[in-house]
Chain A
């Protein structure tokens, strides 16, 4: 996935999108346009004012999935937004944006949070892990991901990343849970397909895979 360039000024926005850029983006296999740059700018309320240092966007460094990423972040920007729109990491989903559904769950220092309700500026110096950071560089799935594959967990999969991250975080505190304990541990995640029974089976299998991985 290409890293997009930083945001341009308003004057740089092309009036019409160039044909070459479109063709570059649209691959013949039909997979849609690759991530590219688009514009974010500070609020119009602050435009025209003498901007004090630090108002609007600010370039910071984030530790995401083990990599140092430099990114321009607005003060009011949430981690979910930064991940999805500035870092090309769309595996974390927005289901409600109001800390109610869990689709946006990521790990910060190994603890599950709703990234829609975390200001990106508060995670400087902390380790952020998203769904994209779980599998190995060679594509080997994380034991919890493998558990989902083993048991055909989830249906539409919109809630999947959130559930997997919540589980990985929970298993650090309780690696050998009962089904009920695991259910309590991931009770901050909604599945509207209501696949809970199969999800629990898949994630319990994931927990088992984790315990086996630790042993050998």
Chain B
């Protein structure tokens, strides 16, 4: 059937106001659900009509996912906190400026106003074959189009290249790893906390995703210990 890369397919839109409600929706719709944070990654898939989820779960109404809180030992940033909020937050600027600087590198002001920290670390790779809808390993196929003698891969991996040579495009991820951040997730089995380094995975662990979130999981917050806080 012919391909057209324009005009989002219709979907049902759910706008829960709590993490618990969001989880119920994800459980209910299973593989038909798509989690929407800022949308700057999602809309490319949807407008290209490569992904056509039946149910989009919009997290923008969930207040508990927003904001920066001081904790006993550092800070906790809600996953839906926008990148602009991260860049401008007085505590982050003063004590964890590496994160503020890296968040400010992202894209453009408008994207930072809407894009979230959680979305930024969970975004999909931008390999132009994969994003163009080519049926490669990452898309569930059995080939990598970039990793051939003729493939165009100047912007792909030069270190740790594996069966897939796509790279993680997140600007904030290296800073969060350097700051020894911990990522807090809510799964169907309850809360789970992992080191930043373990949140991001390579093709040797799962070639179809860049991070450990499974369908039904939500990244709720990122905790930064005071280990590297500026004094």
Number of B interface residues at 8 Å Cβ cutoff, please give it.
26
Interface 9-residue window, one of A1-9, A82-90, A98-106, A200-208:
A98-106
Chain A positions within 8 Å of B56 at CB level? 75-76
Known pairs A112-B113, A113-B110, A114-B114; A76 contacts B13 (CB<8 A) = yes
Smallest Cβ-Cβ distance to A43: which chain B residue: B10
Interface check A177, CB cutoff 8 A: no
The reply to whether B109 and A122 contact each other, CB–CB distance below 8 Å, is no
Q: Summarize B's interface: helix, strand, loop or mixed.
A: mixed
Q: Which residue of A lies closest to B42 (CB)?
A: A117
Which of chain A's residues have a CB closer than 8 A to the CB of B72? Answer: none
- CB-defined contacts of B46 to chain A, threshold 8 Å: 76
A50 vs chain B, min Cβ distance (A): 13
> How long is the Cα–Cα vector from A182 to B37 in the complex, in angstroms?
28
B-side residues, CB < 8 A to A, are 6, 8-13, 15, 36, 39-40, 43-44, 46-47, 56, 58, 60, 84, 107-111, 113-114
B9→A114 contact, CB < 8 A: no
Q: How far is the CA of A119 from the CA of B12 in the complex (A)?
A: 12
Given A99-B40, A117-B43, A118-B39, residue A166 in contact with residue B109 (CB < 8 A): yes
A188 in contact (CB, < 8 A): yes
* Other-chain contact of A98, B9, B47, B109 (Cβ < 8 Å): B47
C-alpha spacing A43/B49, complex, angstroms: 13
A residues near B, CB below 8 A? 42-43, 45-46, 52, 54-56, 74-76, 78, 97-99, 102, 105, 111-114, 117-119, 121-122, 166, 170, 184-188
Task: Take A99-B40, A122-B58 as given contacts and tell me if A74 and B10 are in contact as well, using a CB distance cutoff of 8 Å.
Answer: yes
| 10 CB < 8 A contacts A-B | A43-B9, A43-B10, A55-B12, A98-B44, A99-B110, A111-B84, A111-B113, A112-B113, A122-B15, A166-B109
Q: Please tell me if the beta carbons of B110 and A185 are within 8 angstroms of each other in the complex.
A: no
Give the distance to chain B from A47, nearest Cβ to Cβ, in Å: 10
Q: Would you call A75 and B10 a contact (CB within 8 A)? A: yes
Cβ of B11: which chain A residues have Cβ within 8 Å of it? Answer: 75-76
